[in-house]
Structure 1
Amino acid sequence: MEPHQQGALQAMGTQIQILRLQGFLFFGTANQLLSQVKQGLESLSSSDLPQFMVLDFEQVTGMDSSVAYSFIKLKQAAQPPLRLVLTQLRPEFEELLYRQGCLVPNDPIYHLEPSLDSSLAWCEAQLLDTLSWRRRRYVPLPLQLQKLFADPEHIPAFMDYLDKVQLSADTTLFDQGQPADYLYFLETGQLRTFITPAGGDPVPDRTYQPGTMLGATAFFTQSPHPVSAVADQPSVVYGLSRERWQAMAAQNPRTAATFQGMVIEQLSDQLIRASDSLKSLLA
């Protein structure tokens, strides 16, 4: 994620609220939850209202059929643009909510995600959709790199070490478990990543827009890719191979050091944000 995008999301941090549910849910506990949410929303000014409320069901052990009524009432209380994101919902809970009419296909209020991480990523992607850089015209990669390199004089030399790759829709860029011999920059199009548990179905991870970098952590730690990446639409990426990176370090050490420093700074920011999110959940 770009530094200016991270700053914008931090400024909009109150737009995403997380509620962790636990235990066995029955009418009484669900109705109490409904009252707490409604009171919380009513206590906020219109400018402070969140756009997303994530309900985490990881620690929910069971659910009574009467709970669906409370979630229907919660849905009615959640006026657009507020979206309610249900995460880690067991298949039997999801089936119950559909059967009782709480969930409907293409639901305008409720959105389902498999994990808390994917829920936050989805909410952030929706927030970024509202920002101007997601609606801008085509911007060549050298211009995008100006946000990464404090000194633009490094960019022409850096571009000389990149390989341009054109991807058609549904083309796999790399597979989970594959050696990370390249890191990539997305110039145009859209990529999505997903995780496939052993013996399980693919789980959505993130969606990447132009101007973002993929695979840097695995590349620099020389570890396999933890996710798979696929083009959602025709896309253009630039790849930096390990061989070309080593050549850059030998031939243009200042450019290589500048780039590596930028990557370390970005990864550190991501770790800090992840740590802050974890602390807020445990508070």
Structure 2
Amino acid sequence: MNTANGSDDPRDYIRDQGFENYTETDHATWRTLAKRQREILKGRIADQFLEGLERLGIGEEGIPDFRVMNQRLKAATGWEVMAVPGLIPDLAFFRMLANRQFPAGFWIRKPEQLDYIEEPDIFHDVFGHVPLIMQPIYADYLESYGKAGLVAAEHGALKYLARLYWYTVEFGLAQTPQGMRIVGAGIASSPGETIFALESPSPNRVAFDLGRVMRTLYRIDDYQETYFVLDGVEAWPSLDIDRLIPLWKELEGQGEIEPGQIQPEDRILTQGDGSYHRAKSKTAA
């Protein structure tokens, strides 16, 4: 979820992508990232994600032109990708999603930043997020999320929406007939986390539960200690406001859960051994 200070009006952040301004180095960086990531995602990402890449024409040729991509996206689900200069304030972000507009940074990382950047760039935002927006159920979920965010802001519940976004849109997994697959953009755009999320013995993999997810803290600087697994690629949670408001009140009295903690009521799919983060903490010490 985005966070920044400034105006809450999305119009203050929308820019022209400036497609003609990308250099050959920029396009080469995209090609390197896309080729590498598509190889790593084989057999690990939900089929619907790969279908979205193909239908949108997001490939290895270079940075996509939003004008071309949006024609296909709008025809499929009524969504558009809007170029923004970086992270935008929460309310502006929610309003864009509620209006079926997905904010995407239009700059791309430098060649020496292939493996890690602090702030999401066009590769993360477009390659990672946009393919699933071609799926009507996911597109509806994002719109509902934006509307729920606007209500959460009025009820002091933004932290719950931030956690939900993190553990679904960014770092979600889902059960499929072929096995567990990636649906989160933060994983889908990261070569290291693509493998870690599915194959490492370190993290917990826990069946998705809305209240549990909203109570759970997350890591912004490293791989996740717990991943939540949807029952299917189309099993995005219902965000009915009449249900959410009582849930937020209920959660206020329950306290927060640390990222790696297992709860007695969890339906555990894989209990992690915590080896990765334990080793990292020893190194840091």
TM > 0.5 between the two? no
TM-score of the pair, normalised by structure 2:
0.23
Q: Which has the higher contact order (CA 8 A, sep 6+)?
A: 2
TM-score of the pair, normalised by structure 1:
0.23
Which of the two has greater helix per residue? 2
Q: State the structure with more CA Rg.
A: 1
